[in-house]
Amino acid sequence: MSAPLLQRLLRRRLPFIVAINAAIVVLAFYLAFAVHVEYMTAPATMAVLRRMLPAVLLIKLLVFWRYGLFRGWWRYVSMEDVIAIFKANMVASAVVIAYAVFVHRLDHIPRSTLLLDGLFCFTFIAGIRFAVRAWREHFLPMGDGAGQTRVLIAGAGDAGLMIARELRMNRKLNYLAVGFVDDDKRKRRATLHGLPVLGRCKDIAAICAREQVDEVVIAIPSATGRQVSRIVQFCRAAGVRYKTLPSVGGLLDGSVSVQQLKDVSLEDLLGREQVHLDDEIISACLRDKRVLVTGAGGSIGSELCRQIVNFAPAQLVMFDNGETALFNIDKELRALAPRLEVVAVVGDIRYRARVEAIFAEYRPQVVFHAAAYKHVPLMELNPAEAVNNNVRGTMVMAQTANNHAVERFVMISTDKAVNPTNVMGASKRVAEKFVQALAATSVTRFVTVRFGNVLGSNGSVIPTFTEQIKAGGPVTVTHKEITRFFMTIPEAAQLVLQAGSMGAGGEIFLLDMGEPVKILDLAKELIRLSGKEPYRDIDIEFTGLRPGEKLYEELLLAGEGVKPTAHEKICVAAAVHEDAATLEEQLEQLFAAARRLDLVAVLDWLQRIVPEYCPARHCSARTLNGGGHSTDNEVTDNHD
C-alpha cells in the first residue's frame, strides 16, 4: 500500500474501520456455516444464510458502535480493548441468537453455527488490531540503528515496559532500546516486549560498553533516593548519560511516557518518599471554607495556595507584601482554577488596621500564616526587623484571628526555633510561645507546624549552589560538617495542610524530615549532576559559619514530649504553656526596644523570653549602634 493512499485512508478512518468490521462480520458468519459442509450444499440453508446476513450485519455493527469499537487507534490496542471487543461480541452474539430463535425458529440453522460465528468474529476483530500493532511496533520502525540513540532501560516493571513500547513505536524520538537491567531474579534472561533483560543494575557499566549504549533511562518511579543514587553511580562509571521518570507522586494519572523523562535531580537522589494524605480530614477542614494565606507569594505560601485549590474552598485570599510574587501566583491560580474566587491582597501583616480590614471584609475561616523573614545572616544584622515581622506580625495576625473567631489558625515555624543560636530562630520561637499562649483561652484552634529546610525555596542553598556552578565556581560551603534537614516544597505544603487539619489547639506539629544531609554532599552531587567533577572542574571552598549559624539543626526542645499522630510523617510535641500576662509584658518591652532601634536591648529581651537562645556570635558594636534608621522602621512604628 503506497504512503499517499495510507494517509488518505487515515484521514477518512471511520468509514474505513466500519467497512473492515463489516467485512469481518460477513466473513465470520459465512465461515461459521462453511464449517458444516453438508449444510452449505443445501439450498434451504443457503437461503437462510442470505436472509439472515443483513440483519446480523446491522445488529453487530450497532453493538460494536455502542461499545466504541470504531474509536481508538489499532496501533495502541491493549488488554482493555480486548475486553471491550469480547463484551461487544458477547452482546452481539446474544442478540443474533435471539433473532435466529424468534424470527427463523432455527430452521435449517446448525446450533453450533451461532456459537462459531461469535468465536470467529471476536478472533478476527481482535486479531486484526493486534496485527496492526505488531506491524507498527516490529516492522515499520525497524532500521539499521544508524544515528539513533541507543538506550538501556533500568527497571523492567510496568514503567520500563511502557517506555520500551513507546521507544519502539515512535520513530520520531530517534531512540533504539537495546534491553533492560533489573535486580529481580525472576526476570533474568527473560525477554520482554522483544527486548532482553541483559543483567542487573550493577552490570550497567559492562552492558553499556558491550551494547554501545548512549543513555540509561531509570524507569523506576517508586525507587528511593538511595536506589536512584546507586544506579546513577553505575551510569557515571560507564560514562553514559542518564535520565529518570518523575516519582510516583508525579504520575498521578498512571501514565508513563518518554515525554516525562527528565534529568536526574537532587530531589531524586535525596529520595523523599511520596506523601500520603488523608484527603477526607483536609477536605473537611477546607472544602467550602474561606481561606487566607499570608506570605502567599513565597515558596511555601505559594505552594500552599496551589495545594489548597485542590480541596475546593469557597474563597482563597492571598496576602503578601511583595507585589510581583503575589501577581505571579495570582495569575497562575486564576488559570489553574478559573471557577474559584481568588483574591490577591497587597499589605503588611504588621499593619493592624490593614489586617483588621481584611478580616472584616473577607471573614476568613481558616488562616495559614506563612509570612516571615527567614534569612539567618540578614536577620542577624537586622534584629529589630526580625522582631517586628516574625513576632509582632504574628501577634497582629493571631489576635485578629482570635477577635474574629476564625476556626483554625496554622502558623508555619522552623527547626531553627529549637535551641536557637540566631535572631531569626529566636524570633520564631517567641512567635510560637505567643500562639500557644493565645490557644489556651481562644475558641480558635491555634496550631504550629515546625519543619526544616525546603529544597529550591527562594534564597536557599540549592539555587545558590546552582548559580555558583553556572559561573564556573567555586561553590562555597560554610563548614565541612554542617548538616541540615531537607524536604521538597510540595511535600512541606502537603504536610502543613495535613497537620493543620488535625490540630485541636495549642500543639506544635513536627514533620518527619528524614535523615539530616551534609551540605558538602549536596554540593558535590549538584556539581556531578551538572556534568562536572568536584575539585577537578569546580572547586569547593569553606568560608566558615556565618553569624547565627550552627552545625546541626534540631526539631525538638528539652521538655517537649513528642507523640505520634495518625499520620506516619507527623508527630506532635506536648504543649508547654506560658503565663500569658508575663509574656505580654515581655513582648511590650521587646517591641519598645525594636521601636527605639535599641538592638542590644532587642537581643537581651529575646534571651529573656527564650532562655535557650544562645547567640553563636553577637552583632558587632558598630552594627548594633550604627544600624541606621530606615523608612520601614519608621512606618512600622505606626502600624498599631
Confidence tier at 164 by pLDDT (50, 70, 90): confident
| Range 605-624 burial, b when 16+ CB lie within 10 A, else e | bbeebbebbebeeebeeebb
pLDDT level of residue 630 (50, 70, 90 thresholds): very low
- Which residues are paired to 327 by β-bridges? none
Q: Which amino acid is at 240?
A: V
Residues 6+ apart with CB under 8 A from 15: none
CATH architecture assigned to 149-264: 3-Layer(aba) Sandwich (3.40)
How far from 432 is each of 379, 445, 533, 556, CA to CA, in Å?
18, 14, 43, 13
Amino acid at 541: E
Q: What is the SS3 assignment for 100?
A: helix
Cα 283 to Cα 278: distance, rounded to the nearest angstrom: 9
pTM for this predicted structure? 0.61
Question: Higher-confidence residue: 459 or 608?
Answer: 608
Sign of the CA dihedral running 229, 235, 239, 243: negative
243-261 residue pLDDT tens: 887 654 444 344 555 454 5
pLDDT: which is higher, 161 or 7: 161
CA distance 392 to 633: 13
Give the pLDDT mean for 156-177: 78
Average pLDDT over residues 310-323: 94
Catalogue the long-range contacts made by 518-523 (C-beta closer than 8 Å, 24 or more residues apart).
518/481, 518/482, 518/483, 519/461, 519/477, 519/478, 519/479, 519/482, 519/483, 519/484, 520/477, 520/480, 520/481, 520/482, 522/266, 522/461, 522/462, 522/465, 523/465, 523/475, 523/477
User: Which helix (H) or strand (E) is 619 found in, with range?
Assistant: none
How far lies 299's CA from each of 130, 162, 321, 325, 591, in Å? 49, 34, 14, 10, 28
| Mean predicted confidence (pLDDT) in 199-210 | 91
pLDDT at 170: 67
Residue 117 banded pLDDT, cuts 50, 70, 90: confident
Check whether 123 has a pLDDT greater than 80: yes
3-state secondary structure 320-357: ECCHHHHHHHHHHHHHHCCCCEEEEEECCCCCHHHHHH
Q: Indicate the SS3 state at residue 165.
A: helix
- The span from the CA of 98 to the CA of 90, in Å, is 12
Distances (CA, A) of 478 to 379, 482, 517, 553, 640: 18, 7, 14, 15, 40
Confidence of residue 395 (pLDDT cuts 50, 70, 90): very high
What Rg, from alpha-carbon coordinates, does the chain have? 34
Name every residue whose Cβ is closer than 8 Å to that of residue 155 and which is 6 or more positions away in sequence.
180, 181, 182, 218, 219, 220, 223
- Identify which of 635, 594, 509 has the alpha carbon closest to the alpha carbon of residue 560: 509
Could you tell me if 363 and 289 are in contact, meaning their C-beta atoms sit under 8 angstroms apart?
A: no
Residue type for 161, please? L
Mean pLDDT for the stretch of residues 259-278: 58
pLDDT in tens, 486-503: 677 877 888 888 888 887
Distance separating alpha carbons of residues 612 and 421, to the nearest angstrom? 9
Rounded mean pLDDT, 341-347: 95
* pLDDT on residue 452: 73
What percentage of the chain has pLDDT greater than the value 90? 30
CB count, 10 Å around CB of 68?
A: 12
C-alpha cell at position 462: 540549592
Q: Is the pLDDT of residue 515 over 90?
A: no
pLDDT higher than 80, residue 411 = yes
| Confidence class for position 84, pLDDT limits 50, 70, 90 | confident
What is the Cα–Cα distance from 487 to 294, expressed in whole angstroms? 21
Report the percentage of the chain scoring pLDDT > 70: 77
Nearest CA among 66, 410, 22, 490 for reference residue 250? 490
Average pLDDT of the chain, as a whole number:
80
Q: Buried b / exposed e across 258-285, counting CB within 10 Å, b at 16+?
A: bebbeebbbbbbbebbebebeeebbbeb
Residue 461 CA to residue 119 CA, distance in Å, equals 65
Q: DSSP label at 543?
A: -
* 8 A C-beta contact, residue 619 and residue 604: no
Q: Check whether 584 has a pLDDT greater than 80.
A: yes
Asked if pLDDT for residue 613 goes beyond 50, the answer is yes
- Determine whether 442 is exposed, middle or buried from the number of CB atoms within 10 Å of its CB (0-12, 13-18, 19+): buried
Provide the pLDDT for residue 555.
52
The C-alpha cell 489586617 sits at 355
For 462-471, the pLDDT digits (tens) are 778 888 888 8
Question: Which string of DSSP letters, residue by residue, matches 438-506?
Answer: HHTT-SSEEEEEEE-EEET-TT-HHHHHHHHHHTT--EEES-TT-EE-EEEHHHHHHHHHHHHHH--SS
Nearest to 554, CA basis, from 381, 409, 421, 444: 421
> For the domain with range 279-453+487-512+559-622, which CATH number is right: 3.40.50.720, 3.40.120.10, 2.60.60.20, 3.30.460.80?
3.40.50.720
Segment among 26-40, 325-339, 391-405 with least mean pLDDT: 26-40
State pLDDT tens for residues 525-543: 778 777 778 888 888 988 8
Q: Domain boundaries in the chain?
A: 3-138, 149-264, 279-453+487-512+559-622
**Closest Cα partner for 402 from 317, 319, 505?**
505
pLDDT computed for residue 304 by the predictor: 93
Q: 351-367, pLDDT tens digit by residue?
A: 999 999 999 999 999 99
Helical axes 111-138 vs 158-169, angle rounded to 10°? 80
The set of cell numbers assigned to 464 is 545558590
Binning pLDDT at 50, 70 and 90, where does residue 146 land?
A: low
Cell triple for 412: 508555619
